[in-house]
Structure 1
Amino acid sequence: MRISVTGATGNVGSALLRRLTGSGQHQVTGLARRLPDAGYTDPDVTWVAVDLTRESCAPALRAAFAGADAVIHLAWGFQPSHDQDYLERLALDGTRRVIEAATAEQVPHLVHMSSIGAYSAKVDDEPVAEDWPTEGIASSWYGRTKAAAERMLDAHEASGRSPVVTRMRPGIVGQRSAGSALLRYGVPGLVPAAALDWLPVLPMDRRLRVPMVHSDDVAAAVEQVLLRRATGAFNLAAEPPLTTDRIAKALGARPLHVPSAVLRPLMSAAWHARLQQVDPGWLDLAFGLPLLDTSRARRELGWVPTVDAQTVFEETLAGMRGAASDRTSVLRPRSVAAQLRAAVRQGPVSSRQQP
């Protein structure tokens, strides 16, 4: 099978390439804004540099999709969090361009990496199936863009044109090699990774319930979707959901109940002051999104997660503590010295202009 993958150098993309190239059954084209280091993947992977925020990428996209049996669209962005116009261009203009190119090249199958973030707010802690509304959470740019991308897919499907569409909706996706990337996204640049071991207390609302899944298990589900030409939406999550107590235990910290209504203004003030790079919409997501019913993936894909959610979190946390990385720009090593040099040259990551 010939498969083109956007965002192939990221957290899910790296796991997916391991999966697809490991079987020897697929020819893979990887697309990314910045290409990986030599020797990063199987030598048979063809790499194409594409910046989805630019209209000029359309010819390269069409060439990369020509003759493909499937396109897997993973590309998304998380920083700079103070440049949400850029993030929305990547998410929405990028998704539109992928749909247009796949349609123009008559690719039979488009697999879109949506997210739990596309779902509307929960009403309780009962897991929801794929028919739960996908209107996002308005205060989160991530939720808004994931929901808006789903509307683009709705419009494409209503047109009756090829490709057919599959939507993957995983919970939080983790693996060890994403450690450095997650540190850059969530921890101020001057704070060393070792600081994760210095946290005696975790101030967090005890109501937290968050689904999580391993990158390799997401990759396994995507491969089954390709092989079975399964369409529609699939929730992906492992048990048990993360809670404040479980997170605190993994950190070796004591949980301290602080209502999210108290945490939010503090988080917002720190974000606006550029003291940390995580905007308060992520807190709204954490406490607003539902748990996931994965029955459809288990029934129609034969999918069963191989790693439980607590182990996924502990592996990812170990990757953050060790600043684990891979040979791509997205998963590159993170160090305080490198972060300091970048901050001096380019400003804080939360408002840094993209090259």
Structure 2
Amino acid sequence: MLLALLLLAPSCGRTSLSLGATDVEALLKIGIIADSYGEMTLGVDPWEVVVCRIPISTNDEIFEPSSERMSLSSDEIVKRLTPVVSYFKRHSYGRYQPVFSAGKDVIISDTETSDDCAERALDQSGPEVRGVMVVADAEHGADEFGGWGTPGVGCNESCSASDTRRAVYVGAGDFMDYWNGDSPLDLVEHEIGHALDWPHSTTSASNSGQELYDSALDVMSDSSAPRMVISTKRHGQGTLAINLYAARWLDDDHLKILDRSRRVTTKVQLLATDTDLSIMGKRFVVIVDGVNSFLTVELIAARGDNAHLKSNAVVIHRITVTGTSGVDRQQIVVKGDVQDGEKWAGNGISIEVLSIDSDDGEITAEIEMTVKKAVTS
């Protein structure tokens, strides 16, 4: 079954990310980084799920000092992950599909750490596996991180996880028996986001890089926000338009670019980012505001995986391209809830929401933007 699905997936190797805006250096950098990982964000993406058995006497302080262990096998975890497949198919508009299969358990000694779990699982993975998901059978301590994800190294000739070291690791917390088979999946979705080379986002510049995930707008920030508002929710929320674009799930046709080479005032109608791609229209605006930075403007609909939000809203983020991978990008909320009739202004840029409308399930916003010419010395 897995090999048959692989035949449907795009081949892994360097391809061109058609950004269109060749004069926007920051967007081009995002494209170059995406190219270096081949086509891991498109088509069928085979993942192997591995349980790591943690000894009761472990010295790794990340684990809760307890003899209680997860009872699920890797096959049972694969079944729990079925909604995760639907989540990514939904948010990629059908362009990306993770496929999970059960792998052989790994065991670490009491002197080894959770990192050894991942290394052992990666070493044993086969050439057809593009990512390894490791679930420890022990819970992490209450003050410890829930897990991590990495896209690994660039994909040149071989894209197998054993070569790229692309992996996700989580503790047992979301798969323990006390969930009665109804596991929250937002942490797994967050960590797979990192394996797709998505960075964290946060609400302020001072928070960036401080491991503070406090934005309810993005699965790559406070991914638990939906179930904190609606207790029955199990998925994380959607992600930001710039991540969808970097993953090649949104195209140039869905993007409007404004630079600061001259003063301009323009109106744009935005479709909500969760709108099916069969409906033509812009999904977000990029306003260039520096060599390595820009603002993004998008409309997030308060429905589906984003039903925890109070209302449909235009949101603004500042994106700064740093480092050599997507996970290094800084993505900071500038204004997280611009409503009908409201306006944001700063640094020679003003954004006014003229209307937010819903017509037969199609949510749109009309915005007017004024961008002043940048002053250069």
Common fold: TM-score over 0.5? no
TM-score, normalised via structure 1 length:
0.27
TM-score, normalised via structure 2 length:
0.26
Query: Per residue, is there more strand in 1 or in 2?
Result: 2
Q: More relative contact order in 1 or in 2 (CA 8 Å, sep 6+)?
A: 1
Query: Per residue, is there more helix in 1 or in 2?
Result: 1
